[in-house]
């Protein structure tokens, strides 16, 4: 026995008409249920609601279909004398004309609203595309600046340190105060080189591309703990595999911004970072034990800044979700990104390295 399937294009075109037919049937059943209450008055009422619904959600053709189907249904079942065709008789012609005019007006409004909604969605899609392009450009610029800082400024500072070191070695005849100044200049140069290296890594961590998300997160957490005096607890799988550049970079930026917010706003001395993955998705959680986000009517009362908006755009571009939850015990930021179909070997079983960075 052969199974009949409509071609995809035809099925896609007929689907709105199928749903408009269901809407028409629902209007018919509802009008029948209202008969004991309203009697034979307002025979077209529920069908006009169905027309407006079909035009708004399914378009011009389904709206016209519902209008055409509703006229004989209202005439035959709900217009006295019932079970007769009287829509175009002199007595019922004004009611029929009113129904057709009102239905056309509803269809016109529905189609216009549908068109405006489509235009708004197109503009929003363009805005999201522009935002994603700006974020990608920002990442590329960060990568370029980080490379320039490391390869150019960093090398110049290293050369200055070596030159000053040679001067100190050859400065036997110089006054002790001058030697002390040279040694201080060496220390300043080394500190400057270290700061340039830190800025370079913050702009674009080389470990993210070379070793993956797990190594980059550990390295960043250690540096953050040193700079901020905030204890960072890591819960990261030992064998977290690669997820692709875009996903790893998005999660890393969420980590950066979340820990920065912990330092700036929460007042917490502890932050916990958790990364997990399964065959379908990868997630990142950053939790603190600070004062939390102020609440208003049970919801966080804060306006997202540039950093938070950037996190949301990055995750949204990858079809993921970014959630904020907060109470008096602290704040939780959770990012979840779906993974492309295919085998994944990231292990999130109990063989997890739990570390504490302080």
CATH number of the domain residue 326 falls in:
3.30.565.10
**How confident is the model over 151-172, as a mean pLDDT?**
79
Question: What pLDDT sits at residue 350?
Answer: 36
| CA 9/CA 132 separation, integer angstroms | 31
Omega before residue 81 within 30° of 0, cis? yes
Residues 342, 235 within the same domain: yes
Residue 213 shares a structural domain with residue 346: yes
The confidence score (pLDDT) of residue 347 equals 41
Domain boundary among 126, 161, 189: 126
Q: How many CA atoms lie within 13 A of 153 on its CB side?
A: 18
| pLDDT level of residue 51 (50, 70, 90 thresholds) | very high
Contacts of 198 (CB under 8 A, 6+ apart): 223
Share of the chain above pLDDT 70, in %: 89
Answer for the pair 311, 318: CB distance below 8 angstroms, yes or no. Answer: no
Alpha carbon separation from 353 to 214, 226, 276, 348, 349 (Å, rounded): 11, 20, 12, 10, 11
Q: Is the same domain home to 120 and 250? A: no
For the ranges 89-103, 209-223, 233-247, 297-311, the lowest mean pLDDT is seen at 297-311
Q: How far apart are CA 142 and CA 207, in angstroms?
A: 15
**76 shares its domain with 216:** no
Distance CA 204, CA 132 (A): 18
pLDDT mean over 20-40: 89
Contact (Cβ atoms closer than 8 angstroms) between residue 240 and residue 346? yes
pLDDT score recorded for residue 295: 66
336 pLDDT above the threshold of 90: yes
Task: For residue 253, give every residue at least 6 positions away whose Cβ sits within 8 Å of its Cβ, in sequence order, or none.
Answer: 310, 311, 314
Q: Are residues 344 and 215 in the same domain?
A: yes
pLDDT at residue 300, as a whole number: 56
- Residue 98 maps to a domain: yes
Mean pLDDT of 29-58: 88
- Contacts of 142 by beta carbon, 8 Å cutoff, 6+ apart: 203, 204
Segment 184-193 mean pLDDT: 84
Joined tokens for residue 166: 């040679």
Domain boundary (98, 126, 154) is at 126
The verdict on residue 146 lying in a domain is no
pLDDT of 172 strictly over 80: no
* 214 and 113 fall within a common domain: no
Q: Would you state the structure tokens that stand for residue 335, as one six-digit string?
A: 């990012």
Q: Of the candidates 79, 100, 126, which is a domain's last residue?
A: 126
Q: Give the span between the Cα atoms of 346 and 286, in whole angstroms.
A: 20
213 and 321 co-located in one domain = yes
Q: Are 274 and 235 in contact (CB under 8 A)?
A: yes
105 and 222 co-located in one domain: no
Nearest Cα neighbor of 254 from 294, 282, 225 is 282
C-alpha 266/C-alpha 271 separation (Å) is 10
The answer to whether residue 213 scores a pLDDT higher than 80 is yes
**Residues 107, 219: one domain?**
no
- Say if residue 223 is in the same domain as residue 344: yes
Please, are residues 156 and 197 in contact by the beta-carbon 8 Å criterion? no
Looking at residue 92, what is its pLDDT?
83
Report the candidate in 105, 68, 75, 66 with the shortest Cα–Cα distance to residue 93.
75
Q: What is the pLDDT of residue 349?
A: 40
The answer to the question of residue 139 being in a domain is: no
pLDDT of residue 312: 84
- Averaged pLDDT score across all residues of the chain: 82
Residue 137: alpha-carbon gap to chain centroid: 18
**Among 83-87, 171-175, 197-201, 320-324, where is mean pLDDT lowest?**
171-175
Q: Are 350 and 214 within one domain?
A: yes
When divided into structural domains, the chain yields a total of 2
pLDDT score recorded for residue 45: 86
What pLDDT shows up at residue 63?
92
Kindly state the tokens that stand for 323: 């959630």
CA distances from 18 to 28, 41, 106, 253 (A): 15, 29, 20, 46
- Residue 237 forms part of a structural domain: yes
* Model confidence at 98: pLDDT above 50: yes
On the question of pLDDT at 357 being above 60, the answer is no
In a domain? residue 150: no
Q: CA end-to-end span of the chain, whole Å?
A: 70
* pLDDT at site 298: 59
- Domain-embedded: residue 55: yes
Structural domain containing residue 282: 207-357
On the question of pLDDT at 141 being above 70, the answer is yes
| Structural domain includes residue 13 | yes
Q: Is residue 318 part of a domain?
A: yes
pTM given for the model: 0.61
Q: Which residue in 334, 273, 332 sits closest to 300, CA to CA?
A: 332
Distances (CA, A) of 236 to 168, 277, 355: 46, 10, 8
Mean pLDDT computed over 222-250: 86
3-state class (DSSP) for residue 173: coil
- Give the model's pLDDT for residue 23: 92
The predicted pLDDT at position 345 comes to 45
CA neighbor of 339 nearest in space, from 319, 322, 356:
319
Q: Which residue has the higher pLDDT, 85 or 286?
A: 286
Looking at the structure, tell me whether residues 237 and 336 fall in a common domain. Answer: yes
> Percent of the chain having pLDDT more than 90?
20
């Amino acid at each position: 026995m052969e199974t009949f399937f409509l071609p995809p294009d035809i099925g896609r075109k007929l689907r709105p008409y199928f749903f408009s037919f269901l809407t028409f049937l629902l209007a018919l059943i509802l009008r029948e249920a209202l008969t004991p209450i309203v009697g034979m008055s307002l025979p077209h009422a529920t069908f006009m609601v169905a027309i407006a619904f079909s035009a708004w959600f399914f378009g011009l053709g389904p709206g016209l279909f519902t209008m055409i189907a509703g006229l004989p249904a209202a005439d035959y079942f709900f217009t006295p004398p019932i079970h007769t065709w009287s829509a175009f008789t002199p007595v019922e012609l004004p009611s029929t004309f009113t129904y057709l005019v009102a239905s056309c007006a509803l269809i016109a409004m529905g189609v216009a609203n549908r068109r405006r909604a489509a235009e708004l969605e197109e503009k929003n899609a363009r805005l999201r595309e522009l935002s994603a392009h700006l974020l990608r450009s920002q990442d590329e610029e960060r990568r370029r600046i980080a490379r320039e800082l490391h390869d150019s400024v960093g090398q110049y500072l290293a050369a200055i340190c070596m030159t000053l070191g040679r001067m100190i070695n050859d400065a036997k005849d110089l006054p002790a105060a001058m030697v002390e100044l040279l040694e201080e200049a060496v220390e300043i140069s080394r500190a400057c080189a270290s700061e340039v290296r830190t800025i370079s890594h913050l702009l674009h961590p080389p470990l993210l591309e070379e070793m993956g998300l797990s190594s980059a997160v550990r390295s960043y957490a250690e540096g953050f703990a040193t700079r901020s005096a905030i204890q960072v607890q890591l819960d990261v799988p030992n064998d977290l595999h690669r997820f692709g550049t875009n996903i790893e970079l998005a999660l890393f930026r969420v980590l950066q911004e979340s820990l920065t917010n912990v330092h700036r706003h929460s007042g917490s001395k502890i932050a916990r970072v958790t990364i997990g993955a399964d065959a379908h998705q990868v997630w990142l959680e950053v939790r603190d034990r600070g004062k939390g986000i102020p609440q208003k009517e049970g919801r966080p009362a804060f306006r997202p800044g540039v950093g938070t908006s950037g996190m949301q755009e990055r995750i949204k571009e990858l079809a993921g979700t970014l959630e904020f939850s907060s109470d008096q015990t602290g704040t939780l930021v959770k990012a979840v990104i779906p993974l492309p179909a295919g085998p994944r070997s990231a292990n999130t079983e109990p063989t997890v390295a739990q570390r504490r960075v302080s």
